């Protein structure tokens, strides 16, 4: 409990610092506080869904809730963007978060009753809410008075991920056995429902952008015409391949370390925790350098990090091989996702933004979901070397994309994105 209280205290303190010194509007502070309260359900399920589901299902089905959560994210990306266009960011996010609230309440009931299929449906609904949570980065960018502030806002909103990664697993440890018996996780999901409700209260204070009726009803370019933009391909491939390879290697690491190589769970957990920290702590660096260095530089460094990951991982199976590979993987993911998110607004007008954002998130989270589901099959079929071998072609594509970006990326054109 002490750790959880400390995490919330640091979240509030950081939000105050963002509001006080980052020269960003109130909307960014609200999103900074709301995002980790909702996004914490993903690390919660990744950390504990197998243990939670064990009394309800056979062992071959224990990964199904996490898989359905990932499917839920991918399935809701397009509806989330389209609802944002029709209802406005605030109302769309509130609707998505309400689905997440219902999902956590359903999960609490399913755990109490021992209903595995209901628990799976709840995980799918949590994934739906996560898709709306991913829309917060676009809502933040659209709240800015100056496009020059976009890298700073993206870095700040990405940094919230570290709080989500801490809150979710910590709730499992605090909430187990509080309601329904020593091994019950009912209180965990009831607590998450409270956090989601609090996030909804925060979002009520979010101020929607003012958009003219002409923009609301405009159609913009056709999707095929939008896809003719090289910058759009750079943005999507950087984010999608970066996310997909990160999920593939991260998901396979505990299986390789603990099950195949015999490293203990404490050491395995330390490696994964180090990876999570490396995913989000570089946002403090991009916050400082985002406006000082060109995006293509972050893209190139991110691509080189992925090359380094595979080279390190191929050196052996010692703990430090895994540790260094996963830390560098986290840094590379941060730079690639930061680059892709910053490049995306260069590819659309105000009338086209929801269409492009929906396409981008669908591609990114479909690739991420497929990679996570593929990891177990590859690791048990071909081992750690299979994971590395299957990663090389995709890393090569990332390197080619970064080299292409050096040639095509120029200062943003004077395009109205809000």
* Residues in CB range of 3: below 8 A, 6 or more apart: 166, 170
Whether the per-residue pLDDT at 275 is higher than 60: the answer is yes
- 222-411 is classed CATH 1.20.1250.20: yes
Distance CA 42, CA 49 (A): 10
Q: Kind and range of the H or E element at 15?
A: helix 2-21
Is residue 393 packed enough to be buried (19+ CB in 10 Å), middle (13-18) or exposed (0-12)? exposed
Q: Residue ranges of the domains in the chain?
A: 1-208, 222-411
Which of the two residues, 173 and 216, has the higher pLDDT score? 173
Distance CA 240, CA 354 (A): 18
Superfamily of domain 1-208: MFS general substrate transporter like domains (1.20.1250.20)
Q: Using an 8 Å Cβ cutoff, are 174 and 309 in contact?
A: no
pLDDT tens digits, 371-404:
877 887 888 788 899 999 999 999 999 999 998 8
pLDDT-based confidence at residue 411 (cuts at 50, 70, 90): low
pLDDT tens digits, 150-175:
888 888 888 888 898 888 888 888 88
pLDDT tens digits, 112-160:
999 999 999 999 999 999 999 888 888 888 888 877 788 888 888 888 8
The C-alpha angle with vertex 381 and arms to 378 and 382, in degrees rounded to 5, equals 75
Note the pTM of the prediction, 2 decimals: 0.80
Can you tell me which residue has the tokens 């560098």?
Answer: 328
């Amino acid at each position: 409990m002490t750790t959880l209280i400390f995490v919330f205290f640091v979240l509030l303190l950081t939000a105050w610092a963002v509001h006080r010194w980052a020269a960003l509007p109130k909307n960014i502070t609200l999103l900074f506080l709301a995002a980790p309260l909702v996004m914490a359900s993903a690390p919660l399920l990744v950390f504990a869904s197998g243990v939670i589901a064990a009394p309800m299902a056979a062992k071959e089905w224990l990964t199904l809730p996490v898989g359905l959560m990932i499917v839920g994210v991918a399935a809701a990306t397009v509806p989330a963007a389209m609802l944002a266009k029709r209802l406005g960011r605030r109302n769309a996010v509130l609707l998505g978060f309400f689905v997440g609230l219902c999902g956590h309440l359903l999960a609490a009931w399913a755990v109490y009753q021992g209903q595995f299929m209901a628990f799976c449906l709840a995980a799918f609904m949590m994934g739906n809410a996560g898709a709306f949570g991913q829309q917060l980065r676009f809502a933040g960018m659209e709240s800015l008075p100056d496009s020059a502030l976009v890298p700073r806002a993206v870095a700040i909103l990405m940094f919230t991920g570290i709080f989500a990664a801490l809150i979710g697993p910590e709730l499992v440890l605090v909430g187990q056995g509080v309601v329904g018996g020593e091994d019950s996780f009912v209180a965990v999901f009831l607590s998450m429902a409270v956090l989601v409700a609090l996030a909804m209260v925060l979002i009520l204070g979010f101020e929607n952008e003012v958009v003219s009726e002409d923009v609301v009803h405009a159609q913009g370019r056709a999707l095929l015409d939008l896809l003719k933009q090289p910058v759009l391909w750079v943005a999507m491939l950087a984010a999608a391949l970066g996310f997909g390879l990160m999920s593939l290697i991260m998901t396979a690491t505990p299986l390789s370390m603990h099950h195949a190589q015999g490293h203990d769970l404490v050491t395995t957990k330390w490696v994964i925790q180090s990876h999570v920290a490396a995913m989000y702590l570089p946002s403090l660096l991009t916050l400082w350098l985002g406006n000082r260095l060109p995006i293509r530089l972050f893209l190139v460094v991110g691509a080189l990090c992925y090359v380094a990951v595979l080279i390190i991982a191929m050196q052996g199976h010692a703990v430090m091989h895994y540790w260094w590979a996963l830390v560098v993987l986290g840094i590379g993911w941060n730079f690639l996702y930061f680059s892709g998110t910053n490049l995306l607004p260069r590819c659309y007008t105000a009338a086209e933004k929801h269409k492009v954002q929906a396409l981008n998130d669908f591609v990114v989270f479909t690739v991420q979901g497929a990679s996570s589901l593929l990891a177990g099959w590859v690791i048990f079929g071909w081992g750690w070397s299979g994971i590395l071998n299957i990663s090389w072609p995709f890393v090569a594509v990332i390197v080619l994309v970064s080299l292409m970006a050096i040639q095509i990326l120029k200062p943003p054109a004077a395009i109205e994105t809000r």
